[in-house]
Structure 1
C-alpha cells in the first residue's frame, strides 16, 4: 500500500492560503499535515504561477496545456494530410503512355 497522501485541489489551495495569506511557515504547516516542507513550497509556487488552474488533478491537464496539446495534434494531422495529397498529386501527374 502506498504511503503517499492524496490531497484534493481545494485542500491544497487552503494550505497555500495558510502560507501566503496568513503568513504561516511552510515547515510548520507541513509538520501539521504530514508532508514535507518542499511539497508545501511546490504547491505555493504552482499556485503563484497558474492561479486557480494550479492543481488540475492526476492525469488531467490545465486548460492552456490541453489547448496546446489539441493544437499540436491538429497540426500533426494536417501535415499528414498534406503529405498524402502530395503523394497523390505525384502519382496522378505522371505521364501515362
Structure 2
C-alpha cells in the first residue's frame, strides 16, 4: 500500500512552527488552517523547542534558536504587549461609545 504522508519542505515546516510560536495560536487550530495533522505540527514545534529547528537534518546554533529571548527582545516584547493592551482597551471604549451613539440615533429617529 502507498503511504499517504505528504513530504513537507523545511521552509513550510519552519513557517508553520513560527505561526504557532509567534501568534500563540493552539496547534490544532494552526494545523487545520494549514492542512497538516495536529500530531505532525506538534512534533515540529516540540523539535523546534528542543533543537531550535523543526527540520531534523538542520540545527540552528543555540544563540539563534534556543527559544530563549535576549534581554533586549524581552524588553521589546513587553513594550509591544503593553501597547497592544492599551490599544485593545481603547478599541473597547470606542466600541462602547459607538453603541451608545447608535442607540441615541435610533431613539432620535423614532
- 1:29 counterpart residue number: 30
1 or 2 for the larger relative contact order (CA 8 Å, sep ≥6)?
Answer: 1
Poorly superposed stretches of 4+, deviation over 4 Å: none
| Superposed CA RMSD | 2.3
CA distance in structure 1 between the aligned counterparts of 2:4 and 2:39, rounded to whole angstroms: 17
1:55 aligns with 2:55: yes
- Unmatched 5+ stretches in structure 2: 60-110
- Unmatched 5+ stretches in structure 1: 63-97
Q: Could you tell me how far 1:45 is from its partner in structure 2? A: 0.6
CA contact (8 A) 1:9 1:56 kept: no
TM (norm. structure 1) is: 0.51
CA distance in structure 2 between the aligned counterparts of 1:56 and 1:44, rounded to whole angstroms: 12
CA distance in structure 1 between the aligned counterparts of 2:20 and 2:11, rounded to whole angstroms: 15
Q: Could you tell me how far 1:5 is from its partner in structure 2? A: 1.1
Deviations 1:40-66 (A, max 9, x none): 1110010111114x4145xxx86xxxx
CA distance in structure 2 between the aligned counterparts of 1:9 and 1:56, rounded to whole angstroms: 9
CA distance in structure 2 between the aligned counterparts of 1:30 and 1:6, rounded to whole angstroms: 15
Q: Could you tell me how far 1:33 is from its partner in structure 2? A: 2.0
- 1:39 counterpart residue number: 40
Match of 2:25, SS?
coil
Match of 1:14, SS?
helix
TM (norm. structure 2) is: 0.46
Which structure has the greater CA radius of gyration?
Answer: 1
